[in-house]
Structure 1
Amino acid sequence: MDLQISVFLLFVLFTAGHSLRCYECMSQTGSCAGQTERTCPSGSTHCESSTGITKVGDITSKVQAKGCVPVCQNGSINFGLVRTATSCCNRDLCNRQDAPEPSNVPNGKKCYTCDGQSCSAILSCSGDEDRCVTATDTSGSLTAMVKGCISKSFCDATTAVRNVVSVSCCSGNLCNGSQSVSQSFLFLCCSLLSYFLLH
Protein backbone atom coordinates (compact mmCIF):
# COMPACT_ATOMS: atom_id res chain seq x y z
CA MET A 1 0.00 0.00 0.00
CA ASP A 2 2.78 2.44 0.91
CA LEU A 3 4.56 1.63 -2.34
CA GLN A 4 1.44 2.50 -4.40
CA ILE A 5 1.04 5.84 -2.61
CA SER A 6 4.75 6.63 -3.06
CA VAL A 7 4.58 5.83 -6.79
CA PHE A 8 1.43 7.92 -7.19
CA LEU A 9 2.99 10.92 -5.39
CA LEU A 10 6.17 10.65 -7.47
CA PHE A 11 4.06 10.55 -10.64
CA VAL A 12 2.10 13.66 -9.58
CA LEU A 13 5.27 15.55 -8.68
CA PHE A 14 7.01 14.46 -11.88
CA THR A 15 4.19 15.52 -14.20
CA ALA A 16 3.53 18.78 -12.34
CA GLY A 17 7.21 19.66 -12.48
CA HIS A 18 7.36 19.23 -16.26
CA SER A 19 4.56 21.57 -17.34
CA LEU A 20 5.70 23.91 -20.08
CA ARG A 21 6.03 27.58 -19.14
CA CYS A 22 5.73 30.35 -21.73
CA TYR A 23 5.71 34.11 -21.78
CA GLU A 24 2.26 35.55 -22.37
CA CYS A 25 1.15 38.96 -23.63
CA MET A 26 -1.18 40.72 -26.05
CA SER A 27 0.00 44.17 -27.04
CA GLN A 28 -1.73 46.65 -29.32
CA THR A 29 1.26 49.00 -29.03
CA GLY A 30 3.71 46.74 -30.87
CA SER A 31 5.83 45.69 -27.90
CA CYS A 32 5.46 42.94 -25.30
CA ALA A 33 7.52 44.78 -22.68
CA GLY A 34 5.01 43.82 -19.94
CA GLN A 35 4.94 40.08 -20.70
CA THR A 36 4.22 37.65 -17.88
CA GLU A 37 5.18 34.02 -17.27
CA ARG A 38 2.46 31.39 -17.47
CA THR A 39 2.36 27.67 -16.78
CA CYS A 40 0.69 26.16 -19.81
CA PRO A 41 -2.48 24.09 -19.50
CA SER A 42 -2.44 20.41 -20.28
CA GLY A 43 -2.22 19.83 -24.02
CA SER A 44 -0.17 22.93 -24.80
CA THR A 45 3.14 21.76 -26.22
CA HIS A 46 4.57 24.96 -27.70
CA CYS A 47 5.29 28.57 -26.86
CA GLU A 48 4.32 30.99 -29.62
CA SER A 49 5.26 34.54 -30.48
CA SER A 50 3.44 36.40 -33.28
CA THR A 51 3.73 39.82 -34.84
CA GLY A 52 0.86 41.19 -36.92
CA ILE A 53 0.94 44.37 -39.00
CA THR A 54 -2.12 46.07 -40.47
CA LYS A 55 -1.73 48.93 -42.92
CA VAL A 56 -4.73 50.92 -44.15
CA GLY A 57 -3.74 54.01 -46.12
CA ASP A 58 -1.14 55.91 -44.09
CA ILE A 59 -2.11 54.23 -40.82
CA THR A 60 -0.02 51.26 -39.68
CA SER A 61 -0.67 49.29 -36.50
CA LYS A 62 1.40 46.51 -34.98
CA VAL A 63 0.15 43.77 -32.64
CA GLN A 64 2.35 41.41 -30.61
CA ALA A 65 1.01 38.23 -29.03
CA LYS A 66 2.66 35.45 -27.02
CA GLY A 67 1.35 32.42 -25.22
CA CYS A 68 0.92 28.66 -24.89
CA VAL A 69 -0.50 26.75 -27.86
CA PRO A 70 -1.24 23.09 -28.58
CA VAL A 71 -0.01 23.29 -32.20
CA CYS A 72 2.27 25.86 -33.78
CA GLN A 73 3.83 26.56 -37.18
CA ASN A 74 6.70 28.90 -38.03
CA GLY A 75 5.87 31.05 -41.02
CA SER A 76 4.03 34.07 -42.32
CA ILE A 77 0.83 35.05 -44.06
CA ASN A 78 0.18 38.18 -46.13
CA PHE A 79 -3.21 39.48 -47.29
CA GLY A 80 -1.85 42.82 -48.47
CA LEU A 81 -3.43 45.00 -45.78
CA VAL A 82 -2.74 42.45 -43.03
CA ARG A 83 0.51 40.51 -42.54
CA THR A 84 1.61 38.26 -39.69
CA ALA A 85 4.69 36.18 -38.78
CA THR A 86 4.82 33.46 -36.13
CA SER A 87 7.72 31.81 -34.29
CA CYS A 88 7.32 28.59 -32.29
CA CYS A 89 9.45 26.76 -29.75
CA ASN A 90 8.95 24.00 -27.17
CA ARG A 91 11.22 24.80 -24.20
CA ASP A 92 10.39 26.68 -21.00
CA LEU A 93 10.20 30.45 -21.56
CA CYS A 94 11.69 30.13 -25.05
CA ASN A 95 9.39 32.82 -26.51
CA ARG A 96 11.02 35.72 -24.65
CA GLN A 97 11.93 37.52 -27.89
CA ASP A 98 9.18 39.13 -29.97
CA ALA A 99 8.54 37.43 -33.31
CA PRO A 100 10.23 39.33 -36.12
CA GLU A 101 8.08 41.50 -38.33
CA PRO A 102 6.91 39.76 -41.50
CA SER A 103 9.49 40.11 -44.26
CA ASN A 104 9.16 42.88 -46.86
CA VAL A 105 11.74 41.32 -49.19
CA PRO A 106 9.95 40.02 -52.34
CA ASN A 107 10.76 36.40 -53.21
CA GLY A 108 9.46 36.42 -56.81
CA LYS A 109 6.17 34.63 -56.03
CA LYS A 110 2.94 36.44 -56.98
CA CYS A 111 -0.62 35.80 -55.76
CA TYR A 112 -3.96 37.51 -56.13
CA THR A 113 -5.25 39.57 -53.20
CA CYS A 114 -8.55 41.28 -52.39
CA ASP A 115 -8.99 45.01 -51.85
CA GLY A 116 -12.60 44.99 -50.63
CA GLN A 117 -14.07 45.53 -54.10
CA SER A 118 -12.45 42.74 -56.10
CA CYS A 119 -9.85 40.02 -55.79
CA SER A 120 -7.90 40.88 -58.94
CA ALA A 121 -5.01 42.87 -57.40
CA ILE A 122 -1.61 41.20 -57.59
CA LEU A 123 0.48 40.86 -54.42
CA SER A 124 4.23 40.20 -54.33
CA CYS A 125 4.98 37.51 -51.77
CA SER A 126 7.85 37.95 -49.31
CA GLY A 127 10.22 35.87 -47.23
CA ASP A 128 9.09 32.22 -46.90
CA GLU A 129 5.60 32.78 -48.39
CA ASP A 130 5.76 30.09 -51.07
CA ARG A 131 2.03 29.39 -51.56
CA CYS A 132 -1.09 31.34 -52.56
CA VAL A 133 -4.16 31.11 -50.33
CA THR A 134 -7.89 31.70 -50.73
CA ALA A 135 -10.19 31.71 -47.67
CA THR A 136 -13.97 32.13 -47.74
CA ASP A 137 -16.52 32.72 -44.98
CA THR A 138 -20.21 32.41 -45.75
CA SER A 139 -22.61 33.73 -43.10
CA GLY A 140 -26.18 33.55 -44.32
CA SER A 141 -26.38 35.51 -47.57
CA LEU A 142 -23.05 37.31 -46.99
CA THR A 143 -19.78 36.01 -48.39
CA ALA A 144 -16.35 37.33 -47.48
CA MET A 145 -13.18 36.24 -49.25
CA VAL A 146 -9.49 36.92 -48.73
CA LYS A 147 -6.57 35.98 -50.92
CA GLY A 148 -2.86 36.36 -50.51
CA CYS A 149 0.49 34.73 -49.83
CA ILE A 150 1.19 32.10 -47.17
CA SER A 151 4.01 29.88 -45.93
CA LYS A 152 3.58 26.18 -46.71
CA SER A 153 3.66 25.40 -42.98
CA PHE A 154 0.47 27.45 -42.42
CA CYS A 155 -1.61 25.78 -45.15
CA ASP A 156 -2.68 22.79 -43.05
CA ALA A 157 -3.24 24.90 -39.92
CA THR A 158 -5.73 27.25 -41.60
CA THR A 159 -8.33 24.50 -41.90
CA ALA A 160 -9.08 24.94 -38.18
CA VAL A 161 -9.85 28.67 -38.31
CA ARG A 162 -13.20 29.38 -36.66
CA ASN A 163 -15.91 30.94 -38.92
CA VAL A 164 -13.93 30.11 -42.07
CA VAL A 165 -15.65 27.50 -44.23
CA SER A 166 -13.16 27.12 -47.06
CA VAL A 167 -9.38 27.49 -47.18
CA SER A 168 -7.26 26.38 -50.12
CA CYS A 169 -3.55 26.73 -50.84
CA CYS A 170 -1.79 26.31 -54.16
CA SER A 171 1.82 26.60 -55.31
CA GLY A 172 1.87 28.23 -58.78
CA ASN A 173 2.15 31.96 -59.50
CA LEU A 174 -1.32 33.58 -59.45
CA CYS A 175 -2.84 30.12 -58.88
CA ASN A 176 -5.49 31.47 -56.48
CA GLY A 177 -7.46 33.04 -59.37
CA SER A 178 -9.01 36.48 -59.61
CA GLN A 179 -12.72 37.03 -59.00
CA SER A 180 -15.02 39.59 -57.48
CA VAL A 181 -15.96 39.59 -53.82
CA SER A 182 -19.50 40.31 -52.65
CA GLN A 183 -18.69 41.71 -49.20
CA SER A 184 -15.88 43.50 -47.42
CA PHE A 185 -13.11 41.10 -46.52
CA LEU A 186 -11.75 42.96 -43.46
CA PHE A 187 -13.75 40.78 -41.03
CA LEU A 188 -12.31 37.60 -42.53
CA CYS A 189 -8.78 39.05 -42.48
CA CYS A 190 -9.21 39.82 -38.79
CA SER A 191 -10.50 36.29 -38.08
CA LEU A 192 -7.49 34.72 -39.74
CA LEU A 193 -5.05 37.16 -38.12
CA SER A 194 -6.52 36.56 -34.67
CA TYR A 195 -6.29 32.80 -35.21
CA PHE A 196 -2.56 33.02 -35.83
CA LEU A 197 -1.97 35.53 -33.05
CA LEU A 198 -4.02 33.77 -30.39
CA HIS A 199 -3.67 30.02 -31.14
Structure 2
Amino acid sequence: MKLILSLTLIWALSSTAGALLCQTCTNPDCSTTVTSTCLTETMCATASIQNTSVGVTVSQIVKACAPSSVCPATGSRTFSFNTGVVRVIASFQCCNTDNCNTDNLPAPGPQPNSLKCFTCNPFTSECNSKLDCQGVEDRCVKFNVTNGATNSSVFGCASANLCTLNAKQSFLPSLQSVGNITSGPFCCGTSLCNAVTTIASDAGCMSLLLGILIFTLRFFEV
Protein backbone atom coordinates (compact mmCIF):
# COMPACT_ATOMS: atom_id res chain seq x y z
CA MET A 1 0.00 0.00 0.00
CA LYS A 2 2.83 2.43 0.86
CA LEU A 3 4.45 1.68 -2.49
CA ILE A 4 1.19 2.46 -4.32
CA LEU A 5 0.78 5.74 -2.43
CA SER A 6 4.38 6.69 -3.12
CA LEU A 7 4.04 5.99 -6.83
CA THR A 8 0.78 7.95 -6.96
CA LEU A 9 2.41 10.94 -5.24
CA ILE A 10 5.40 10.83 -7.59
CA TRP A 11 3.10 10.69 -10.62
CA ALA A 12 1.01 13.60 -9.37
CA LEU A 13 4.06 15.75 -8.67
CA SER A 14 5.66 14.95 -12.02
CA SER A 15 2.40 15.73 -13.85
CA THR A 16 2.10 19.10 -12.11
CA ALA A 17 5.75 19.91 -12.70
CA GLY A 18 5.34 19.52 -16.45
CA ALA A 19 2.24 21.74 -16.68
CA LEU A 20 2.37 25.09 -18.42
CA LEU A 21 2.35 28.23 -16.26
CA CYS A 22 0.46 31.29 -17.51
CA GLN A 23 -0.42 34.73 -16.25
CA THR A 24 -4.10 35.13 -15.33
CA CYS A 25 -6.05 38.24 -14.39
CA THR A 26 -7.42 38.74 -10.89
CA ASN A 27 -9.51 41.84 -11.63
CA PRO A 28 -11.65 43.07 -14.56
CA ASP A 29 -9.07 45.45 -16.05
CA CYS A 30 -6.25 42.89 -15.66
CA SER A 31 -4.06 45.38 -13.84
CA THR A 32 -3.18 42.60 -11.38
CA THR A 33 -2.13 39.12 -12.48
CA VAL A 34 -0.99 35.90 -10.85
CA THR A 35 0.78 32.82 -12.18
CA SER A 36 -1.61 29.88 -12.67
CA THR A 37 -0.94 26.26 -13.55
CA CYS A 38 -2.78 25.16 -16.68
CA LEU A 39 -4.75 21.92 -16.52
CA THR A 40 -4.97 20.57 -20.07
CA GLU A 41 -4.31 23.80 -21.97
CA THR A 42 -1.10 23.95 -24.00
CA MET A 43 -0.95 27.69 -24.64
CA CYS A 44 -0.91 30.98 -22.77
CA ALA A 45 -2.92 33.82 -24.27
CA THR A 46 -3.36 37.55 -23.96
CA ALA A 47 -6.55 38.99 -25.43
CA SER A 48 -7.67 42.52 -26.16
CA ILE A 49 -11.47 42.70 -26.44
CA GLN A 50 -13.76 45.49 -27.59
CA ASN A 51 -17.50 45.10 -27.06
CA THR A 52 -19.62 47.79 -28.75
CA SER A 53 -23.36 47.91 -28.10
CA VAL A 54 -25.63 50.76 -29.25
CA GLY A 55 -22.63 53.00 -29.84
CA VAL A 56 -20.97 52.40 -26.46
CA THR A 57 -17.62 50.56 -26.49
CA VAL A 58 -16.22 48.68 -23.51
CA SER A 59 -12.64 47.41 -23.68
CA GLN A 60 -11.05 44.61 -21.69
CA ILE A 61 -7.66 42.91 -21.40
CA VAL A 62 -7.70 39.18 -20.58
CA LYS A 63 -4.87 36.75 -19.79
CA ALA A 64 -5.28 33.02 -19.21
CA CYS A 65 -4.43 29.46 -20.20
CA ALA A 66 -5.83 28.78 -23.67
CA PRO A 67 -7.17 25.56 -25.25
CA SER A 68 -6.00 24.47 -28.69
CA SER A 69 -9.39 25.42 -30.17
CA VAL A 70 -8.58 29.09 -29.55
CA CYS A 71 -4.79 28.88 -29.88
CA PRO A 72 -3.94 26.04 -32.30
CA ALA A 73 -0.44 27.49 -32.75
CA THR A 74 1.72 30.31 -31.45
CA GLY A 75 1.11 33.72 -32.94
CA SER A 76 -1.82 36.08 -33.34
CA ARG A 77 -5.51 35.45 -34.07
CA THR A 78 -8.46 37.81 -34.32
CA PHE A 79 -12.11 36.91 -33.77
CA SER A 80 -14.87 39.28 -34.81
CA PHE A 81 -18.68 39.29 -34.86
CA ASN A 82 -21.01 42.09 -35.89
CA THR A 83 -24.80 42.40 -36.04
CA GLY A 84 -24.87 46.15 -36.59
CA VAL A 85 -26.26 46.70 -33.09
CA VAL A 86 -23.61 44.65 -31.27
CA ARG A 87 -20.03 44.22 -32.42
CA VAL A 88 -17.33 42.27 -30.61
CA ILE A 89 -13.73 41.97 -31.74
CA ALA A 90 -11.01 40.12 -29.84
CA SER A 91 -7.33 39.91 -30.72
CA PHE A 92 -5.33 37.03 -29.26
CA GLN A 93 -1.59 36.53 -28.86
CA CYS A 94 -0.76 32.86 -28.21
CA CYS A 95 2.51 31.47 -26.83
CA ASN A 96 3.66 28.19 -25.30
CA THR A 97 6.33 28.94 -22.68
CA ASP A 98 5.89 29.64 -18.99
CA ASN A 99 4.49 33.11 -18.24
CA CYS A 100 4.95 34.24 -21.84
CA ASN A 101 1.68 36.22 -21.84
CA THR A 102 2.81 39.14 -19.70
CA ASP A 103 2.48 41.88 -22.35
CA ASN A 104 -0.79 43.64 -23.13
CA LEU A 105 -2.10 43.81 -26.70
CA PRO A 106 -3.18 47.10 -28.30
CA ALA A 107 -6.90 47.49 -28.86
CA PRO A 108 -7.98 46.08 -32.25
CA GLY A 109 -8.86 48.67 -34.89
CA PRO A 110 -10.74 47.15 -37.85
CA GLN A 111 -11.40 48.84 -41.19
CA PRO A 112 -14.37 48.23 -43.53
CA ASN A 113 -13.90 45.50 -46.13
CA SER A 114 -15.83 44.67 -49.30
CA LEU A 115 -18.17 42.05 -47.78
CA LYS A 116 -21.80 42.94 -47.09
CA CYS A 117 -24.20 40.78 -45.07
CA PHE A 118 -27.84 40.93 -44.11
CA THR A 119 -28.66 41.89 -40.53
CA CYS A 120 -31.88 42.05 -38.53
CA ASN A 121 -33.76 45.12 -37.41
CA PRO A 122 -34.18 44.67 -33.62
CA PHE A 123 -37.47 46.59 -33.66
CA THR A 124 -39.20 44.93 -36.62
CA SER A 125 -37.37 41.55 -36.63
CA GLU A 126 -36.97 41.88 -40.40
CA CYS A 127 -33.61 40.54 -41.56
CA ASN A 128 -33.15 42.39 -44.84
CA SER A 129 -30.96 45.34 -43.81
CA LYS A 130 -27.46 45.44 -45.30
CA LEU A 131 -24.39 45.62 -43.08
CA ASP A 132 -20.82 46.54 -44.09
CA CYS A 133 -18.41 44.01 -42.59
CA GLN A 134 -15.12 45.13 -41.09
CA GLY A 135 -11.58 43.85 -40.70
CA VAL A 136 -11.36 40.05 -40.56
CA GLU A 137 -15.12 39.56 -40.89
CA ASP A 138 -15.08 37.51 -44.09
CA ARG A 139 -18.23 35.42 -43.51
CA CYS A 140 -21.94 36.16 -43.34
CA VAL A 141 -23.69 34.28 -40.55
CA LYS A 142 -27.24 33.56 -39.43
CA PHE A 143 -28.88 31.50 -36.69
CA ASN A 144 -32.03 31.39 -34.59
CA VAL A 145 -32.12 31.69 -30.81
CA THR A 146 -34.65 31.37 -28.00
CA ASN A 147 -34.60 33.47 -24.85
CA GLY A 148 -37.36 32.36 -22.53
CA ALA A 149 -40.56 32.42 -24.58
CA THR A 150 -39.04 34.68 -27.24
CA ASN A 151 -37.76 33.34 -30.58
CA SER A 152 -35.55 35.56 -32.70
CA SER A 153 -33.07 35.51 -35.57
CA VAL A 154 -29.50 36.79 -35.53
CA PHE A 155 -27.84 37.78 -38.81
CA GLY A 156 -24.53 39.54 -39.35
CA CYS A 157 -20.82 39.37 -40.16
CA ALA A 158 -18.24 37.06 -38.57
CA SER A 159 -14.62 36.01 -38.98
CA ALA A 160 -14.11 32.60 -40.57
CA ASN A 161 -12.34 31.23 -37.50
CA LEU A 162 -15.57 31.58 -35.50
CA CYS A 163 -17.22 29.23 -37.96
CA THR A 164 -14.74 26.44 -37.27
CA LEU A 165 -14.08 27.04 -33.58
CA ASN A 166 -15.32 24.41 -31.15
CA ALA A 167 -16.61 26.71 -28.44
CA LYS A 168 -17.42 24.13 -25.79
CA GLN A 169 -14.59 25.49 -23.68
CA SER A 170 -14.62 27.47 -20.47
CA PHE A 171 -12.12 29.79 -22.20
CA LEU A 172 -14.99 31.47 -24.02
CA PRO A 173 -18.13 33.00 -22.52
CA SER A 174 -21.70 31.86 -22.93
CA LEU A 175 -24.41 33.33 -25.09
CA GLN A 176 -26.64 33.96 -22.07
CA SER A 177 -27.26 37.55 -23.13
CA VAL A 178 -28.70 36.36 -26.46
CA GLY A 179 -30.22 32.94 -25.85
CA ASN A 180 -29.91 29.32 -26.93
CA ILE A 181 -29.18 28.48 -30.56
CA THR A 182 -32.11 26.49 -32.00
CA SER A 183 -31.06 26.32 -35.66
CA GLY A 184 -27.82 26.99 -37.46
CA PRO A 185 -25.56 28.74 -37.29
CA PHE A 186 -24.81 28.93 -41.02
CA CYS A 187 -21.80 30.72 -42.49
CA CYS A 188 -21.11 31.66 -46.11
CA GLY A 189 -18.44 33.70 -47.82
CA THR A 190 -20.06 35.96 -50.45
CA SER A 191 -21.88 39.25 -50.04
CA LEU A 192 -25.52 38.96 -48.91
CA CYS A 193 -25.35 35.15 -48.95
CA ASN A 194 -27.10 34.94 -45.55
CA ALA A 195 -30.50 35.87 -46.94
CA VAL A 196 -33.55 34.42 -45.19
CA THR A 197 -34.03 31.82 -47.94
CA THR A 198 -30.35 30.80 -48.16
CA ILE A 199 -29.48 27.40 -46.70
CA ALA A 200 -25.99 26.79 -48.11
CA SER A 201 -23.19 27.09 -45.57
CA ASP A 202 -19.53 26.44 -44.92
CA ALA A 203 -19.08 22.84 -43.76
CA GLY A 204 -17.29 23.96 -40.60
CA CYS A 205 -20.02 26.31 -39.49
CA MET A 206 -22.13 23.59 -37.90
CA SER A 207 -19.41 23.16 -35.27
CA LEU A 208 -19.99 26.71 -34.06
CA LEU A 209 -21.48 25.85 -30.68
CA LEU A 210 -23.10 27.83 -27.93
CA GLY A 211 -20.87 30.60 -26.70
CA ILE A 212 -18.62 31.94 -29.46
CA LEU A 213 -20.46 34.73 -31.19
CA ILE A 214 -20.97 37.39 -28.54
CA PHE A 215 -18.13 37.94 -26.08
CA THR A 216 -19.44 39.20 -22.76
CA LEU A 217 -17.17 40.61 -20.11
CA ARG A 218 -17.49 37.37 -18.15
CA PHE A 219 -14.76 36.09 -20.43
CA PHE A 220 -12.86 33.51 -18.42
CA GLU A 221 -13.70 31.05 -15.70
CA VAL A 222 -10.32 30.29 -14.18
Q: When the two structures are superposed, what TM-score results if normalisation uses the length of structure 2? A: 0.65
RMSD: 3.6
- Match for residue 183 of structure 1? none
Q: CA deviation at 1:27?
A: 5.9
More helix by share: 1
Relative to structure 1, the CA distance from residue 123 to residue 100 in structure 2 (aligned partners, 3 Å threshold; closer, same or farther) is farther
- Match for residue 141 of structure 2? 133
- Match for residue 34 of structure 1? 32
C-alpha distance in 2 between matches for 1:52 and 1:91: 26
Gaps of at least 5 residues in structure 1 are: 180-187
Given candidates 139, 149, 152, the residue that maps to 2:157 is 149
C-alpha distance in 2 between matches for 1:8 and 1:198: 31
Alignment of 1:43 with 2:65, yes or no, is no
Q: CA deviation at 1:131?
A: 1.1
- Match for residue 111 of structure 1? 117
Given candidates 191, 204, 213, the residue that maps to 1:173 is 191
Between 188-197 and 160-169, the greater mean CA deviation after superposition: 188-197
Given candidates 84, 91, 98, the residue that maps to 2:89 is 84
Alignment size in residue pairs = 187
C-alpha distance in 1 between matches for 2:22 and 2:104: 13
Deviations 1:13-47 (A, max 9, x none): 4322221222222765xx4222332212x222232
C-alpha distance in 2 between matches for 1:158 and 1:122: 28
Secondary structure of 1:23 counterpart: strand
The aligned runs of 1:10-29 (5 Å cut-off) are 11-25=11-25
- Is the contact between residue 26 and residue 66 of structure 1 (CA under 8 Å) also seen in structure 2? no
Which amino acid is the alignment partner of residue 95 of structure 1?
A: N
Relative to structure 1, the CA distance from residue 149 to residue 189 in structure 2 (aligned partners, 3 Å threshold; closer, same or farther) is farther
Greater RCO structure (CA 8 Å; 6+ sep): 1
Q: When the two structures are superposed, what TM-score results if normalisation uses the length of structure 1? A: 0.72
C-alpha distance in 2 between matches for 1:124 and 1:189: 24
Which amino acid is the alignment partner of residue 78 of structure 2?
A: G
